[in-house]
Amino acid sequence: MPEQKPDLRETVRRRYAAAAVQVTEGGTTCCGPAAIGLGIGIDDIFGSARYTDGERDELPAGAVAASLGCGNPTAVADLREGDRVLDLGSGGGIDVLLSARRVGPAGKVYGLDMTEEMLALALANQRKAGATNVEFLKGTIEAIPLPAATIDVVISNCVINLSTDKAAVFAETFRVLGPGGRIGISDVVAEDALTPARRAERGDYVGCIAGALSFTEYRRGLEAAGFTRIEITPTHLVADGMHAAIVRAAKPSVAGTGATGHVTGAPAACCAHH
């Protein structure tokens, strides 16, 4: 896969920097396309609507307002007391702060973001939440600034689709996970019948659509990085032929072992192998 294009990365950075500033100034923000012709409100498919009332009530308003995701990875990542967690593209910190409560004082949660404005917002939200088992890092998801085998669970919420070097993201995720480590990711995934050009017709890159992998591409990318026990389960429609999905996979406990990756629950059109 191609290396991340500097101009595209800068476009993404500016978009999310502006979103952080908007929230800091008291507004709200959102990711994703207008679901034209689908009868779906944008607030129903992206953002804080993907969290329960109880989860939203736990957090500072700024963390909730800055939610840009297409799912709730903390609800599917099976977080346990004492886990070490990494959130790729942590934004305003909503998933980091929710994870910090679940792993408890014996655990640790890292949030990784490349945008200074989002990191500043996340740090403010961390202070308001009083979370002491949290650390925010500046960097890119293609070059994670953590040592190998130091993380138990990697989560991410509608961010991997924004990278044009997804092979590097998957390889770096695999590297930082310890043996038996796992991922619980929410992301946008395209039906296999949609070519990259047809995906781009449905929304731009910064809107979390044009850069989405297909179901088969996503599975093959994870397999190439070494992941096993792969499950990609669509949850709701975000554009015509484009789905928010839960992605689960694991790093083998012992090299060379593990089940074959597979897609579960995908529409028939998503599962053709090319």
Q: What is the pLDDT of residue 70?
A: 67
Can you tell me the distance from the alpha carbon of 195 to that of 204, in angstroms, rounded to the nearest whole number?
14
Strands (E), the chain: 84-88, 108-113, 134-138, 151-157, 177-190, 213-214, 228-239, 242-250
Q: In sequence order, what are the beta bridge partners of 249?
A: 183
The pLDDT assigned to 41 comes to 38
- Any idea what DSSP says for residue 132? S
| pLDDT averages per 10-residue partition of the chain, 274 residues | 55 57 49 38 43 49 48 80 96 90 96 92 92 97 98 94 94 98 95 94 79 96 98 92 95 63 39 32
Give the pLDDT confidence score for residue 63 in this predicted structure: 45
Q: How far is CA 235 from the centre of its chain?
A: 14
pLDDT of 74 reads 78
Domain total of the chain: 1
Examine residue 274 and state whether it is found in any structural domain, yes or no. Answer: no
64 in a structural domain = yes
* Residue 1 domain-assigned (yes or no): no
Residue 41 lies in a domain: yes
The Cβ of residue 104 has, within 10 Å, a number of other Cβ atoms equal to 13
Q: What is the pLDDT of residue 51?
A: 45
* 273 domain-assigned: no
Residue 108: helix, strand or coil by DSSP?
strand
Residue 54: the pLDDT is 53
| Domain coverage including residue 111 | 6-268
Q: What does the pLDDT read at residue 113? A: 94
Paired tokens of 4: 């991340």
Which residues are paired to 140 by β-bridges? 143
Does any domain span residue 165? Answer: yes
